[in-house]
Amino acid sequence: MEMQRIGIVGAGQMGSGIAQVCALAGLDVTLNDVSEAALQRGIDRMTASLERMVSKDKLSAAEASAALMRIERCVEPGGLADCDFVIEGATENVRVKQAILRQLDAVLRPGAIIATNTSSVSITKLAATLDDPARFIGMHFFNPVPVMELVEVIRGIQTSDATFEATVALARRIGKTAIDVRNSSGFAVNRILVPMINEAIFVLHEGVASAEEIDAGMKLGANHPIGPLALADLIGLDTVLAIMDVLYGEFNDSKYRSAPLLKEMVAAGYLGRKTGRGFYTY
Ligand code: NAD
């Protein structure tokens, strides 16, 4: 399938990063958000990221400005009508996503693919919103998108092989490595990563080791580039708790019970880097 124009819904942290990597790969991009102000915030974030790449000699100034020139913007979903592939990266709210998907289903040509970057909503459930669920798939990027190499490509039960293959091809074209994942709560990576972070919080709470010792242990003993508690501060403790709650609710298995200290810290507003205090002080 020939892909030239990619639509991105949501110009937030993730959407702007996805738009950036697509434009750098030479694809035309249409970026959609609910207001001009939200679109401008996305473009500003992208401009700052591209400038950092230029200052580190990863990119020439000409390549950076050419990438920005490939991005069009629109506040109406109708502006995405000529896209071959649309990635939904709007706010993590199932009703917001379902409304967007119904609009996309109506404006896109038959055969155009619709992907979602959701972290927690079932791909199968979102696909059921569409008249043609076979063209729907999960494309789960990691933050920050320009840096992180992985994309989880997640099939709902309705997803066609053609949709899967086109999505993997797009991931490769924008320089990412795709892994093939079946729809399941937390997909593959968060299902493994977040309970590990939760366990580190139990270890801290039980006084087995300090935060610094736990993080040093996992860096030096398990070869992780960052310790689990520093990573929790980076992700945001509220997000870590929300993912544990989704896993617990979905699987009804006590192994996904969130650590009491995690709940306590979220209740206190100690959410990590974004509030200046988590397991460490910033
Ligand atoms: P964000 O809050 O930074 O951005 C969301 C954007 O969506 C905002 O600009 C908002 O105005 C826009 N939006 C809301 N409703 C819209 C609509 N109807 N039409 C168009 N735009 C709309 O959020 P984010 O961190 O970029 O997350 C976006 C998605 O990516 C979520 O589904 C999230 O779960 C997922 N995700 C996030 C991360 C992460 O680390 N932040 C990682 C992987 C996946």
Examine the pLDDT at 2 and tell me if it is beyond 90: no
Residue 103 has φ and ψ, to the nearest 5°, of -65, -40
Domain with CATH 3.40.50.720 in the chain: 5-182
Domain with CATH 1.10.1040.10 in the chain: 191-273
Q: What is the pLDDT of residues 158-171, one digit of tens each?
A: 999 999 999 999 99
Topology classification of domain 5-182 = Rossmann fold (3.40.50)
Is 187's C-beta closer than 6 angstroms to any atom of ligand 1? no
CATH classification for the domain delimited by 191-273, as one of 1.10.1040.10, 3.10.130.10, 3.40.50.720, 3.40.50.300: 1.10.1040.10
Examine the pLDDT at 92 and tell me if it is beyond 90: no
Residue 92 CA to ligand 1 centre (angstroms): 6
The pTM assigned to this predicted structure is 0.93
Residues in contact with 138: Cβ distance below 8 Å, sequence separation at least 6, in sequence order: 115, 116, 117, 118, 123, 152, 153, 154, 155, 156, 181, 183, 187
Q: What is the pLDDT of residues 35-82, one digit of tens each?
A: 999 999 999 999 999 999 999 999 999 999 999 999 999 999 999 999
What is the residue with the minimal CA distance to atom 8 of ligand 1? Answer: 12
